[in-house]
Amino acid sequence: MKTIGLLGGMTCESSLVYYKLINEMARERLGGHHSAASVMVSVDFGEVQPHMERGEWDRVMAVMIETAQAIERGGADFLVLCTNTMHKFAEPIGQAIRIPILHIVDATAREIRQAGRDTVGLLGTRFTMEEPFYRDRLREPHGITALVPDADDRALVHRVIMDELSRGIIDPESRRAYWRVIDTLASRGAQGIILGCTEIPLLVTQDQGRIPLFDTTTIHARAAVDFALKGTGS
Protein backbone atom coordinates (compact mmCIF):
# COMPACT_ATOMS: atom_id res chain seq x y z
CA MET A 1 0.00 0.00 0.00
CA LYS A 2 1.28 3.43 -0.91
CA THR A 3 1.66 5.97 1.88
CA ILE A 4 -1.01 8.69 1.64
CA GLY A 5 0.14 12.23 2.32
CA LEU A 6 -2.58 14.36 3.92
CA LEU A 7 -2.34 18.15 4.06
CA GLY A 8 -4.76 18.92 6.87
CA GLY A 9 -5.94 21.74 9.07
CA MET A 10 -8.14 23.48 6.47
CA THR A 11 -9.97 22.95 8.78
CA CYS A 12 -9.37 20.41 11.54
CA GLU A 13 -13.08 19.48 11.39
CA SER A 14 -12.81 18.07 7.88
CA SER A 15 -9.30 16.70 8.47
CA LEU A 16 -10.76 14.47 11.19
CA VAL A 17 -13.35 13.18 8.71
CA TYR A 18 -10.70 12.52 6.04
CA TYR A 19 -8.55 10.51 8.45
CA LYS A 20 -11.53 8.51 9.73
CA LEU A 21 -12.94 7.76 6.27
CA ILE A 22 -9.61 6.77 4.75
CA ASN A 23 -8.82 4.35 7.56
CA GLU A 24 -12.33 2.87 7.59
CA MET A 25 -12.21 2.37 3.82
CA ALA A 26 -8.75 0.79 4.03
CA ARG A 27 -9.92 -1.63 6.73
CA GLU A 28 -12.99 -2.52 4.66
CA ARG A 29 -10.82 -3.27 1.64
CA LEU A 30 -8.00 -5.09 3.46
CA GLY A 31 -9.84 -6.65 6.40
CA GLY A 32 -8.61 -7.53 9.85
CA HIS A 33 -6.76 -4.86 11.77
CA HIS A 34 -5.51 -3.05 8.68
CA SER A 35 -5.53 0.72 8.36
CA ALA A 36 -4.08 3.18 5.86
CA ALA A 37 -0.41 4.08 5.79
CA SER A 38 -0.42 7.87 5.95
CA VAL A 39 1.49 11.02 6.82
CA MET A 40 -0.54 14.05 7.91
CA VAL A 41 0.80 17.54 8.48
CA SER A 42 -1.77 20.14 9.51
CA VAL A 43 -1.59 23.90 9.23
CA ASP A 44 -3.03 26.31 11.78
CA PHE A 45 -6.19 27.58 10.09
CA GLY A 46 -6.31 30.52 12.49
CA GLU A 47 -3.09 31.79 10.94
CA VAL A 48 -4.04 31.07 7.33
CA GLN A 49 -7.67 32.25 7.28
CA PRO A 50 -6.97 36.00 7.78
CA HIS A 51 -4.62 35.96 4.78
CA MET A 52 -7.35 34.32 2.71
CA GLU A 53 -9.92 36.95 3.64
CA ARG A 54 -7.47 39.78 2.84
CA GLY A 55 -6.57 38.22 -0.50
CA GLU A 56 -2.94 37.67 0.53
CA TRP A 57 -2.70 34.56 -1.59
CA ASP A 58 1.08 34.55 -1.97
CA ARG A 59 1.39 34.06 1.79
CA VAL A 60 -1.21 31.29 1.76
CA MET A 61 0.49 29.55 -1.15
CA ALA A 62 3.85 29.67 0.62
CA VAL A 63 2.35 27.89 3.64
CA MET A 64 0.76 25.24 1.42
CA ILE A 65 3.99 24.58 -0.47
CA GLU A 66 6.06 24.39 2.72
CA THR A 67 3.56 21.96 4.26
CA ALA A 68 3.41 19.80 1.13
CA GLN A 69 7.21 19.57 1.10
CA ALA A 70 7.18 18.49 4.75
CA ILE A 71 4.69 15.74 3.89
CA GLU A 72 6.90 14.58 1.03
CA ARG A 73 9.93 14.47 3.34
CA GLY A 74 7.82 12.41 5.76
CA GLY A 75 7.63 9.60 3.23
CA ALA A 76 4.32 10.12 1.43
CA ASP A 77 3.97 8.57 -2.03
CA PHE A 78 1.29 11.02 -3.15
CA LEU A 79 -0.49 14.09 -1.78
CA VAL A 80 -4.10 14.69 -0.82
CA LEU A 81 -5.05 18.31 -0.11
CA CYS A 82 -7.82 17.89 2.48
CA THR A 83 -9.54 21.04 1.29
CA ASN A 84 -11.31 22.18 -1.87
CA THR A 85 -10.24 25.82 -1.80
CA MET A 86 -6.50 25.13 -1.63
CA HIS A 87 -6.71 23.30 -4.95
CA LYS A 88 -6.42 26.86 -6.21
CA PHE A 89 -2.69 26.18 -5.72
CA ALA A 90 -2.57 22.60 -6.99
CA GLU A 91 -0.31 23.52 -9.91
CA PRO A 92 2.38 25.46 -7.99
CA ILE A 93 2.31 22.91 -5.17
CA GLY A 94 2.75 20.15 -7.73
CA GLN A 95 5.73 21.96 -9.23
CA ALA A 96 7.37 22.24 -5.79
CA ILE A 97 7.22 18.52 -4.94
CA ARG A 98 8.14 15.29 -6.72
CA ILE A 99 5.13 13.21 -5.67
CA PRO A 100 1.77 13.42 -7.50
CA ILE A 101 -1.28 15.30 -6.21
CA LEU A 102 -4.63 13.49 -6.22
CA HIS A 103 -6.88 16.32 -7.41
CA ILE A 104 -10.28 16.62 -5.73
CA VAL A 105 -11.99 18.04 -8.84
CA ASP A 106 -10.91 15.13 -11.04
CA ALA A 107 -12.16 12.58 -8.51
CA THR A 108 -15.47 14.42 -8.12
CA ALA A 109 -15.93 14.88 -11.87
CA ARG A 110 -15.54 11.14 -12.45
CA GLU A 111 -18.36 10.40 -10.03
CA ILE A 112 -20.58 13.09 -11.58
CA ARG A 113 -20.01 11.59 -15.02
CA GLN A 114 -20.63 8.06 -13.75
CA ALA A 115 -23.97 9.32 -12.39
CA GLY A 116 -24.87 10.57 -15.87
CA ARG A 117 -24.84 14.28 -14.97
CA ASP A 118 -23.27 17.18 -16.84
CA THR A 119 -24.70 20.25 -15.06
CA VAL A 120 -24.33 20.64 -11.31
CA GLY A 121 -24.58 23.28 -8.62
CA LEU A 122 -21.43 24.21 -6.72
CA LEU A 123 -21.37 25.18 -3.04
CA GLY A 124 -18.16 26.12 -1.27
CA THR A 125 -16.21 29.04 0.07
CA ARG A 126 -16.65 32.24 -1.88
CA PHE A 127 -13.19 31.63 -3.34
CA THR A 128 -14.24 28.25 -4.73
CA MET A 129 -17.56 29.55 -6.03
CA GLU A 130 -16.31 32.83 -7.50
CA GLU A 131 -12.81 32.12 -8.80
CA PRO A 132 -12.40 30.10 -12.01
CA PHE A 133 -9.97 27.39 -10.85
CA TYR A 134 -12.69 24.91 -9.81
CA ARG A 135 -15.31 25.50 -12.49
CA ASP A 136 -12.70 25.64 -15.25
CA ARG A 137 -11.31 22.21 -14.32
CA LEU A 138 -14.81 20.75 -14.24
CA ARG A 139 -15.48 22.13 -17.70
CA GLU A 140 -12.15 21.13 -19.20
CA PRO A 141 -11.36 18.28 -19.48
CA HIS A 142 -14.52 16.81 -17.91
CA GLY A 143 -17.25 18.66 -19.82
CA ILE A 144 -19.23 19.55 -16.68
CA THR A 145 -20.99 22.90 -16.21
CA ALA A 146 -21.10 24.24 -12.64
CA LEU A 147 -23.80 26.70 -11.55
CA VAL A 148 -23.15 28.89 -8.51
CA PRO A 149 -25.64 30.72 -6.25
CA ASP A 150 -26.33 34.42 -6.62
CA ALA A 151 -24.24 36.97 -4.70
CA ASP A 152 -26.40 37.03 -1.56
CA ASP A 153 -26.55 33.25 -1.34
CA ARG A 154 -22.81 32.93 -1.98
CA ALA A 155 -22.24 35.24 0.98
CA LEU A 156 -24.53 33.12 3.14
CA VAL A 157 -22.86 29.85 2.14
CA HIS A 158 -19.40 31.30 2.81
CA ARG A 159 -20.39 32.80 6.17
CA VAL A 160 -21.78 29.50 7.44
CA ILE A 161 -18.58 27.70 6.45
CA MET A 162 -16.26 30.21 8.07
CA ASP A 163 -18.25 31.21 11.16
CA GLU A 164 -19.94 27.91 11.97
CA LEU A 165 -18.78 24.73 10.24
CA SER A 166 -15.06 25.46 10.55
CA ARG A 167 -15.65 25.74 14.31
CA GLY A 168 -17.76 22.58 14.57
CA ILE A 169 -21.04 24.51 14.94
CA ILE A 170 -24.07 22.83 13.31
CA ASP A 171 -27.08 25.15 13.19
CA PRO A 172 -30.45 23.77 11.99
CA GLU A 173 -31.35 27.21 10.63
CA SER A 174 -28.22 27.18 8.48
CA ARG A 175 -29.15 23.72 7.24
CA ARG A 176 -32.55 25.02 6.14
CA ALA A 177 -30.87 27.97 4.43
CA TYR A 178 -28.50 25.66 2.56
CA TRP A 179 -31.38 23.52 1.33
CA ARG A 180 -33.14 26.65 0.09
CA VAL A 181 -29.99 27.52 -1.90
CA ILE A 182 -29.81 23.95 -3.22
CA ASP A 183 -33.46 24.03 -4.30
CA THR A 184 -32.82 27.31 -6.13
CA LEU A 185 -29.88 25.80 -8.00
CA ALA A 186 -32.01 22.78 -8.92
CA SER A 187 -34.69 25.11 -10.31
CA ARG A 188 -31.98 26.65 -12.53
CA GLY A 189 -31.12 23.26 -14.02
CA ALA A 190 -28.63 21.69 -11.62
CA GLN A 191 -28.86 17.88 -11.84
CA GLY A 192 -26.85 17.45 -8.67
CA ILE A 193 -24.92 19.51 -6.13
CA ILE A 194 -21.19 19.48 -5.44
CA LEU A 195 -20.56 19.95 -1.72
CA GLY A 196 -17.40 21.80 -2.67
CA CYS A 197 -16.13 22.54 0.79
CA THR A 198 -14.99 19.66 2.94
CA GLU A 199 -16.99 20.98 5.92
CA ILE A 200 -20.37 21.17 4.15
CA PRO A 201 -21.13 17.42 4.55
CA LEU A 202 -21.16 18.06 8.29
CA LEU A 203 -24.32 20.11 7.69
CA VAL A 204 -25.98 18.71 4.56
CA THR A 205 -26.37 15.01 3.79
CA GLN A 206 -28.02 12.94 1.07
CA ASP A 207 -30.73 11.56 3.34
CA GLN A 208 -32.11 15.09 3.80
CA GLY A 209 -33.13 15.64 0.17
CA ARG A 210 -33.74 14.08 -3.22
CA ILE A 211 -31.27 15.82 -5.53
CA PRO A 212 -27.95 13.93 -5.78
CA LEU A 213 -25.23 15.38 -3.56
CA PHE A 214 -21.58 14.89 -4.45
CA ASP A 215 -19.75 14.84 -1.14
CA THR A 216 -16.21 15.81 -2.11
CA THR A 217 -14.74 14.69 1.22
CA THR A 218 -15.99 11.11 0.83
CA ILE A 219 -15.21 11.04 -2.89
CA HIS A 220 -11.66 12.29 -2.34
CA ALA A 221 -11.04 9.89 0.55
CA ARG A 222 -12.25 6.94 -1.54
CA ALA A 223 -10.04 8.00 -4.46
CA ALA A 224 -7.07 8.20 -2.08
CA VAL A 225 -7.60 4.64 -0.88
CA ASP A 226 -8.10 3.41 -4.45
CA PHE A 227 -4.84 5.06 -5.53
CA ALA A 228 -2.96 3.78 -2.49
CA LEU A 229 -4.06 0.22 -3.18
CA LYS A 230 -3.64 0.36 -6.96
CA GLY A 231 -1.59 -2.57 -8.14
CA THR A 232 -1.86 -4.47 -4.85
CA GLY A 233 -4.80 -6.64 -5.90
CA SER A 234 -6.92 -5.35 -3.00
Catalytic hit among 11, 67, 82, 83: 83
Give the ranges where the chain is alpha helix by DSSP (H). Answer: 12-30, 45-53, 57-73, 90-96, 104-114, 126-130, 132-139, 151-163, 172-187, 216-229
Could you tell me which residues come within 8 angstroms of residue 136 by beta carbon, excluding any fewer than 6 positions away?
Answer: none
Active site residue 197: yes
Q: Which of these, 112, 105, 146, lies nearest to 129 by C-alpha position?
A: 146
Q: Is 184 a catalytic residue?
A: no
Q: ω before 172 within 30° of 0 (cis)?
A: no
- What is the C-alpha radius of gyration for the chain, rounded to an integer number of angstroms? 17
Q: For helices 132-139 and 104-114, give the axis angle rounded to 10 degrees.
A: 40
Determine phi and psi for 20, rounding to 5 degrees: -65, -50
Buried b or exposed e, range 118-148, using 16+ CB within 10 angstroms: eebbbbbbbbbbeeebbbebbeeebebbbbb
Choosing from 11, 67, 128, 197, the catalytic residue is: 197
| Integer Cα distance of 134 and 104 in angstroms | 10
Which residues are the active-site residues?
83, 197
